[in-house]
Chain A
Amino acid sequence: MSNTEYILTVILVMTIATFSTRIMPFLFFHGRGNHPIMSYIAKYTPPMIMSILVVYTLKDVNFSNEIGLYTVLAVVATIAIHVWKGNPLVSIFTGTFLYMFLIQM
């Protein structure tokens, strides 16, 4: 196998592996979306996963240096602006610009 053939095979293998994880629930639970346990899971997983994703994006931040401080400030600012204005884009971009400003200063 040449190097290009190898990497094309890798892409194919990864495509199949990733796609199978994403199509699986639709294949396995097809037509069962209204089952009580399914709608219970469907309703409560988004808040759980959103909480987990927040922690996931922050898990490598070192909270004992200034980057940690900037991160905390930017997260607090994002929450405050969102509770105040309720406009997702305004909250997200203000928080991000604050973080980029602090970190590049």
Chain B
Amino acid sequence: MTRDAIKSTFPVLFGYIPLGMAFGMLFQNLGYPWYLATLMAFFVYAGTAQFMIIGLLAAGVGLTEIAISTFLINSRHIFYGISMLNHYGDWGLRKVYLAFGLTDETYSLVTTIDPKDAAKKKQQYFLITALNHSYWVISCTIGAVIGSSFSINTQGMEFTLTALFVVLLIEQWKKIKNLLPFMIAAFSVAVALYLFSEQMLLVSIALSVTLLIANNLIKKSR
């Protein structure tokens, strides 16, 4: 069981290596010491926001703008926690940490892997969250330490995350066997890509959850 949890995180490791390293290199290019990249990876732990901040720092944007744009870019996570309400147990440091580490990749794993045994489940959720977190911190650090002085050929490795989401999508289909969520997602993605290509992720998630709730209300009122 523990081995299953560890194995399930391997694709995330391979996906985070090129992404984290790319972040570390860009961050180091701004002239900051490497350990600040480590600090940011550890505490902020949000890939999209970290790439965004590189652009904002270079442009010298103020703290208020940084706070607002970080919040907005990550606000999709508000919808992630809802799926884990019944699974992350009672309040405590453990739950706070699991919530802190609920990234896109961790969410994908913990919502697909559904252990039946309650005690094992707690342990697995923690392991998945902590491993993914450490992969990210280590990758960002390596990138910042080696900088652009040395390059290994990781070109194309980022495809691991696409493959991970494709496989978990198939696993979700096997679990759900209902076309509705997939149709709602396809429609929302099309609208978001067409109207708000820059904020496609947030817009499509917000729109699809809204449509899902609307569908549920219509069904009930019938």
Q: Which residue of B lies closest to A11 (CB)?
A: B40
Q: Which residue of B lies closest to A10 (CB)?
A: B66
Residues B108 and A21 in contact, CB atoms below 8 Å apart = no
* B77 located at the interface, meaning its Cβ lies under 8 Å from any Cβ of chain A in the complex: yes
Q: Which residue of A lies closest to B190 (CB)?
A: A55
Contact partner, B166, options A7, A15, A45, A54, Cβ 8 Å? A54
Q: Bound complex: CA of A83 vs CA of B171, how far in Å?
A: 10
Q: B residues within 8 A CB of A96?
A: 14, 156-157, 159-160, 163
Contact partner, A18, options B44, B156, B205, Cβ 8 Å? B44
**How many residues of chain A are within 8 Å of chain B by beta carbon?**
69
Q: A residues within 8 A CB of B176?
A: 43-44, 47
Residues A57 and B162 in contact, CB atoms below 8 Å apart = yes
Q: Bound complex: CA of A100 vs CA of B78, how far in Å?
A: 34
Residues A13 and B70 in contact, CB atoms below 8 Å apart = yes
Contact partner, B159, options A14, A59, A99, Cβ 8 Å? A99
CB distance from A81 to the nearest CB of B (A): 9
Residues B156 and A53 in contact, CB atoms below 8 Å apart = no
Q: Which of B164-198 contact A (CB under 8 A)?
A: 164-173, 175-176, 178, 180-182, 184-186, 188-189, 193, 197
Q: Which of B58-113 contact A (CB under 8 A)?
A: 63, 66-68, 70-71, 74-86, 88, 91, 95-96, 99-102, 104, 107-108, 111-112
Q: B residues within 8 A CB of A89?
A: 7, 10-11
* B118 located at the interface, meaning its Cβ lies under 8 Å from any Cβ of chain A in the complex: no
Q: Bound complex: CA of A45 vs CA of B100, how far in Å?
A: 19
Residues B182 and A47 in contact, CB atoms below 8 Å apart = yes
Q: B residues within 8 A CB of A39?
A: 86
Q: Bound complex: CA of A91 vs CA of B169, how far in Å?
A: 13
**How many residues of chain B are within 8 Å of chain A by beta carbon?**
90
* A9 located at the interface, meaning its Cβ lies under 8 Å from any Cβ of chain B in the complex: yes
Residues A25 and B81 in contact, CB atoms below 8 Å apart = yes
Q: Which residue of A lies closest to B96 (CB)?
A: A23
Q: B residues within 8 A CB of A88?
A: 8, 11, 167-168, 171
Residues B85 and A46 in contact, CB atoms below 8 Å apart = no
CB distance from B12 to the nearest CB of A (A): 10
CB distance from A83 to the nearest CB of B (A): 7
Contact partner, A10, options B63, B71, B82, B186, Cβ 8 Å? B63
9 shortest interchain CB distances as A-B pairs: A25-B81, A33-B85, A51-B185, A100-B156, A17-B70, A46-B111, A33-B86, A47-B172, A103-B156
Interface residues of B (CB under 8 A from A): 7-8, 10-11, 14, 32, 36, 39-40, 43-46, 49, 53, 57, 63, 66-68, 70-71, 74-86, 88, 91, 95-96, 99-102, 104, 107-108, 111-112, 153, 155-173, 175-176, 178, 180-182, 184-186, 188-189, 193, 197, 200-201, 204-205, 208-209, 212-213, 216
